[in-house]
Amino acid sequence: MQDNTPQPAASAWPATRTEGLARIAAFTPHMGHDYASRRNYDLGPDKRGNVSVLSPYIRRRLITEEEAVRAALSAHSPAEAEKYVQEIFWRTYWKGWLERRPSVWADYVRGRDAALTTQDRRLSKAVTAAEEGRTGIDCFDAWAEELVGTGYLHNHARMWFASIWIFTLQLPWQSGADFFLRHLLDGDPASNTLGWRWVAGLHTKGKHYAAQGWNVAKFTSQRFHPADLNETAEPLEEAFDPGAARPTRSFMPPDPARPAVLLITEEDCHPETLNLPTLNGAATLQLSAERSPLPVSGSVTRFDRAALADAATRIAAISGEVTALNAPRPRDLADWATRAGATQIVTSFIPQGPVRDWLNTAAPALAEAGMTLTEIQREWDTAVWPFATAGFFKVKKKIPHLIEDLNLAP
């Protein structure tokens, strides 16, 4: 029996590990056949029982990918849980793919900034109307309102929305990706950027996603019947070439002989499970505003703040006092670590995205202070990312072996 219990607005969810674990437990019975058969239906913001809605927690690793997969396999056979497990691996595939082609993130940032500073008043007005849900396309306008109001959209709705934005409204895909990243509680640089590129036909050259009215009607249970979509659009083209996959960037692991402090970011709010050296202290670094040059949703900012505070509470038993670095300058990071008597800052591996960009800007100040930024990469990423070289199929084929290698089966 499918659980259609009304779900609260995403902005009201407690951003804690305890809440994430409770949500895993509540959805575990539905991670098999229920999920596989009903996951594509967008039944509306008050009926989210057919999907897990765990992504804001997994995004920050308040709960981990391993925990979600173990839960599914603890209650269902591998065949029954296949679709749910694949969706968890999809997020990791996106992150690994972007790590191996970091120029794609840089190209998105350039395109976004160019789109946001356009002098074309007609285009600017059209983007504003789309973001405010004033296009006259009822499904699109409802999704825009839902995104801004709740911080969440069903995955199928995200695809429809992006397709309408790009092909029907003919707006820059980078502006749409920025709109999502400013408002999605689970906004992830890799999943978001590459998802929009995939819809546009840029991720897999020549293969795009053109939303169809009948498909929207069917998978919204007839809530919407759009008749004015551009269903025959051609995929976008670009001169930019991301090139072949390269090895992921090298990084410096912690030196157990050097005094260290821990830096917690939104990339990993479960630091107590990292292989940490002895710590002189810890700090949380909130960089919500770095998602975009435009104002970031208050719901996103509050969720980040609460998630980091929750992580700080849990790590304090190991690190002692935890400092909150909110809206910091790059020099503030070096000064804090120096005052703590450290010569190295330890953090989880920071992938491509706004946090990585900010830390790159902080590198000169850290070097001047004689401070080394060291990173710890989780086994999950180490195991999956080597297969994220082309399409998802290569990762998909390896899932049974990865489940065995990572000891995820009961």
252 in any annotated domain: no
337 in any annotated domain: yes
Residues 80 and 127 reside in one and the same domain: no
Q: What is the mean pLDDT of residues 67-76?
A: 98
Q: Which carries the bigger pLDDT value, residue 5 or residue 58?
A: 58
Confidence of residue 372 (pLDDT cuts 50, 70, 90): very high
Confidence of residue 308 (pLDDT cuts 50, 70, 90): very high
Question: What pLDDT, on the 0 to 100 scale, is given for residue 119?
Answer: 83
Domain range enclosing 293 = 260-377
In the chain, the N- to C-terminal Cα span, in Å, equals 24
Question: What pLDDT, on the 0 to 100 scale, is given for residue 281?
Answer: 96
410 in any annotated domain: no
Residues 73 and 140 reside in one and the same domain: no
pLDDT digits (tens, 9 = 90+) for 204-256: 988 999 999 999 999 999 999 999 999 999 999 999 999 999 999 999 999 99
214 in any annotated domain: yes
CATH code: domain of residue 118? 1.10.579.10
Residues 399 and 367 reside in one and the same domain: no
pLDDT digits (tens, 9 = 90+) for 178-201: 999 999 999 999 999 999 999 999
Cα 189 to Cα 291: distance, rounded to the nearest angstrom: 9
Question: What pLDDT, on the 0 to 100 scale, is given for residue 6?
Answer: 39
Residue 11 has pLDDT above 70, yes or no: no
Residue 7 has pLDDT above 70, yes or no: no
2 in any annotated domain: no
Question: What pLDDT, on the 0 to 100 scale, is given for residue 97?
Answer: 98
Residues 81 and 111 reside in one and the same domain: no
176 in any annotated domain: yes
Residues 38 and 123 reside in one and the same domain: no
Question: What pLDDT, on the 0 to 100 scale, is given for residue 4?
Answer: 40
Question: What pLDDT, on the 0 to 100 scale, is given for residue 42?
Answer: 96
Count of domains in the chain?
A: 3
